[in-house]
A and B are shown apart, each in its own frame.
Chain A
Amino acid sequence: MSEYGYIPEAPEQSFGNNKGIFTPKDIYDLTRADKYTNYGQLELIETKTVSGASSTIFTSIQESTYNVHFLTINNYQPSVDSRHLDIRFFESGVEESASVYQRAQQIGQADTSFSESKSTAIDYLLASFATGNATNESGNSYSYFYNLGDSSKYSFQTMHQDDINSSGVFRTAFGSGVLPQASTVDQIKLFVSSGTFDCTVSLYGIAES
């Protein structure tokens, strides 16, 4: 019997187009080669429960596997009132902490007119705007990251969040960010500029992207 169960020839196998009778080893080999149809392309990389830390770092983001990453943040609350949650990338193991990031967000607040928030030279991307630290004041957000593992491309972000701010007002913000440097990003850091924070944060990869 030839490879992947066919007699006498092995048909070409690809995602969404598998033919034959497969042994567990066939499935293992094809899966590792990304040629076996396994549905479920939102793949959890890691979940962190952060409590009383000033930062947390995803050190194994599988940037060579995924072209698109998805980050969710649940129940973010800083210890210092009105403190935003920030993102920095590591390029080949080195944290980029210079004011080389750009970001632009639209803010929609429940008690006043919408407003803009933007910068062409800042040392972080935004994961969540400045959230309050009183009971029930917290923030939730998601971000998508593009091309982190591609050394020839810039690393882009889109995000959307909501929170209860330090005045107890509900707010949303959405927008984008970029690290405009062609580099390999291999770690993602979340941090606050002072104090500590709590949240649950999960990083996913979008397979086949």
Chain B
Amino acid sequence: MAGNLEFINSFEITSSTSAFNCDNIFSADYDVYEIYIRNLATVGTTETSLYFRFIDSGGSVINGTTYDYASLEMKANTTFAESRSTTASFIRVGLFDAPPEGSNGKFVIYNPYDSSSYTFLQAQASARAAGNLAGYKAIGVEHTAQSVRGIQILEPNVRPFDEGNISVYGVKG
């Protein structure tokens, strides 16, 4: 009997980019997905924020202000910081830095392929940034009732990344 966590696809980032697409990962086969990211690391050594966007059914990255998110940044060396928006063009999901201080985390996506519902996200990540632990907990939603087929990993502040592994799983109901 098949287990409940079913591998769909994996991706490896091997060259410098500010946006990496994991396309055609969502389908009618699952309602819930788990995405694991390991060692996502920047080219430079300045810490920066990590963002997600979704890719619509036509293959276009959704970059309008249709995202809401709320997140808590938990650094081991300083007071924790909240971040939130109701009019964002992405979902903030973490921090990252140069190797070996990459970002690692699990991201759960709900209802992406259902054209009649919003797409929801929960994230928890762990990274080192500027020499200290940076934990991250976040929620997000793309509040358009539409079918979504992929995600984009994004760094919009001109701090490209060139390393990372992404594995995508479906959770069988």
Contacts and interface: CB of A to CB of B under 8 A. Distances in A.
A62 B125 CA distance: 23
For B39, B124, B135, which residue has the most chain A Cβ atoms within 10 angstroms? B135
B128 A147 contact: no
Contact of B135 (A68, A150, A175, A207): A175
Range for the number of chain A residues in contact with chain B: 35 or more
B102 A153 contact: yes
B106 interface: yes
B25 to A, nearest CB: 12
For A103, A116, A150, A175, which residue has the most chain B Cβ atoms within 10 angstroms? A175
Interface in B85-143: 99-102, 104-106, 124-128, 132-137
A152 B163 CA distance: 13
Interface string A82-104: 00000000000000000000111
A180 B77 CA distance: 14
A118 B100 contact: no
A146 B164 CA distance: 12
A118 to B, nearest CB: 5
Say what secondary structure dominates the interface of chain B: strand
B124 A106 contact: no
Given A144-B124, A178-B133, A182-B100, 7 more contacts: A40-B2, A40-B5, A41-B169, A42-B4, A146-B126, A206-B36, A208-B169
A39 B6 contact: yes
Interface of A: 15-16, 39-42, 67-68, 102-106, 116, 118-120, 144, 146-147, 150, 152-154, 156-158, 160, 174-178, 180, 182, 206-209
Contacts of A178: 126, 128, 133
Contacts of B79: 116
Contacts of A15: 7
27 contacts: A40-B3, A40-B4, A40-B6, A41-B7, A42-B3, A67-B165, A68-B38, A102-B133, A103-B76, A103-B133, A104-B134, A116-B79, A118-B75, A118-B76, A120-B77, A146-B39, A147-B104, A153-B99, A156-B127, A157-B126, A158-B105, A174-B124, A176-B134, A176-B135, A178-B133, A180-B101, A208-B169
A156 B164 CA distance: 15
Contact of A176 (B5, B7, B125, B169): B125
A153 B7 CA distance: 24
B127 to A, nearest CB: 7
Interface string B27-66: 0000000001011000000000000000000000000000
A152 B133 CA distance: 17
Interface string B1-20: 01111111110000000000
